[in-house]
Amino acid sequence: MQLVAAGLTDTGYRPEGLDQFKRGIDDFFEALGSTPSGAYTAASGAILSDNDPLYTLQDREAFRERTYEQLRDVIADRFANGAIEVALVGDIDEDAAIEAVAATLGALPMREAEFNPREEARIRSFTDARGEYILRHGGEADQAWVRMIWPTRDDSDLKETIELGLLARMLRIELTDRLREDLGQAYATQASSSPSSVYRDYGTFVLFAPVASSEVETVRGVFRELLEDFRSTPADPDLIERARQPMLEAYDNALKSLGGWMGLASRAQTKPERLDRWLAGPELLKAVTAQDLQAMAQRYLAPEDAVEFLVLPEEPEITRPQVLPGTMREGPPAVVIERESDG
């Protein structure tokens, strides 16, 4: 607790830390275009946010210009005056814990009693420029990504949050099975739902597979067949249970670890409704039907509403980065962005 309190009252701004950060800038930017992951990281934020600087990778000069003085201007007031919520979990002596907090964080000068909700900042947009984007990387010629991203919603509706989470697990299971059947490959597929707890009306749903570059069109076809099946027909009950059971087990196991307890306790005072949500989760999950899941797929996962990223190897005739106008201030080496369609 003394170390935590010291971090607030005597924050270290030693030049060695800034020097280390700046030494890594060139390596970071030079590596961006060398893998599908790097190419995606370099370009996707700007595309998805319509160049919102909060989510757009800035050029290397912007990184070089950062100073500790700028950082201090941003965080010092919050460190000195912002509200604090303390959560302690584990096999601890309650009286000793109270005493430790009182002697450290509790001994700090009076500060704000409540967190600033900053409602005006809880706005985040998802681009209307849907369709297909090709990103080029300079790495291995047999590596590619197929990734589709949709806008969804925030997490204020627990029922829909759970339904989208279950739908994501089902899509991942089925996508993995179909790619194994069609291509004989066990690709590390991903499907995920991320409804925001911070930004109003914002969330994303992702369907993703890293694939051999020669299989990109086949995999795209599998994606679309999968989406059509989930949108047109209620899901198979066996598939629902394959996806639902691990989620129920996760609830059962959550409080068997300190991390699980901390996840519940960290905002228990300021957001007590989160405890109620967690307790209600298992029964809501058990109640999800095939029709509920089909409705979610129909509402959110139309192929034409997605931003589709194809991260492909660089073509031999490409000799310099090409950047979609306005997308990035500086194109990292080997990253090429081609807008194929407006959806």
Per-residue model confidence as pLDDT tens digits over 73-93 = 999 999 999 999 999 999 999
| Residue recorded with tokens 């701004």 | 13
pLDDT over 70 at 220, yes or no:
yes
Question: 3-state SS of 5-42?
Answer: HHHHHCCCCCHHHHHHHHHCHHHHHHHHCCCHHHHHHH
Say if residue 106 is in the same domain as residue 188.
no
Residue 49, in any domain of the structure: no
Residue 38, in any domain of the structure: no
Given pLDDT bands bounded at 50, 70 and 90, which one contains residue 181? confident
Say if residue 107 is in the same domain as residue 151.
no
pLDDT in the model for residue 330: 34
Say if residue 138 is in the same domain as residue 113.
no
Say if residue 197 is in the same domain as residue 301.
yes
Residue 179, in any domain of the structure: yes
Residue 45, in any domain of the structure: no
Residue 39, in any domain of the structure: no
- Identify the H or E element spanning 315: none
Q: What is the pTM of this model?
A: 0.89
Domain count, the chain: 2
pLDDT in the model for residue 317: 47
pLDDT in the model for residue 331: 36
pLDDT in the model for residue 315: 79
Closest CA to 324 of 65, 127, 148, 140: 127
pLDDT in the model for residue 319: 34
Given pLDDT bands bounded at 50, 70 and 90, which one contains residue 324? very low
Say if residue 330 is in the same domain as residue 241.
yes
Mean pLDDT of 260-279: 94
Residue 40, in any domain of the structure: no
- Domain containing 16 equals 2-32+56-121
pLDDT over 70 at 329, yes or no:
no
Query: Across all residues in the chain, what is the average pLDDT?
Result: 91
Given pLDDT bands bounded at 50, 70 and 90, which one contains residue 208? very high
pLDDT over 70 at 277, yes or no:
yes
Which ranges of 288-333 would DSSP assign to H, the alpha helix? 290-300
Q: How many other CB atoms are found less than 10 A from the CB of residue 291?
A: 10
* In contact, 172 and 230? CB cutoff 8 Å: no
Say if residue 11 is in the same domain as residue 109.
yes
Last residue of a domain, one of 94, 121, 148: 121
pLDDT tens for residues 155-168?
Answer: 999 999 999 999 99
pLDDT over 60 at 173, yes or no:
yes
pLDDT in the model for residue 304: 97
Packing angle, helices 2-9 and 68-81, rounded to 10? 120
Say if residue 71 is in the same domain as residue 176.
no
Alpha-carbon torsion, ordered 323, 328, 334, 335, to 10 deg: -80
pLDDT over 70 at 19, yes or no:
yes
Dist. CA 285–CA 101, nearest whole Å: 38
Mean pLDDT of 272-292: 97
pLDDT in the model for residue 338: 62
pLDDT in the model for residue 187: 83
pLDDT in the model for residue 186: 76
- DSSP letter at 50? T
Residue 250, in any domain of the structure: yes
* In contact, 152 and 203? CB cutoff 8 Å: yes
Indicate which CATH number applies to the domain containing 221: 3.30.830.10
Say if residue 157 is in the same domain as residue 274.
yes
Say if residue 269 is in the same domain as residue 174.
yes
Given pLDDT bands bounded at 50, 70 and 90, which one contains residue 340? low
Last residue of a domain, one of 72, 90, 121: 121
The CA-atom distances, in angstroms, between 29 and each of 26, 69, 204 are 5, 24, 27
Residue 126, in any domain of the structure: no
Say if residue 162 is in the same domain as residue 195.
yes
Mean pLDDT of 227-255: 97
Say if residue 135 is in the same domain as residue 93.
no
Say if residue 168 is in the same domain as residue 68.
no
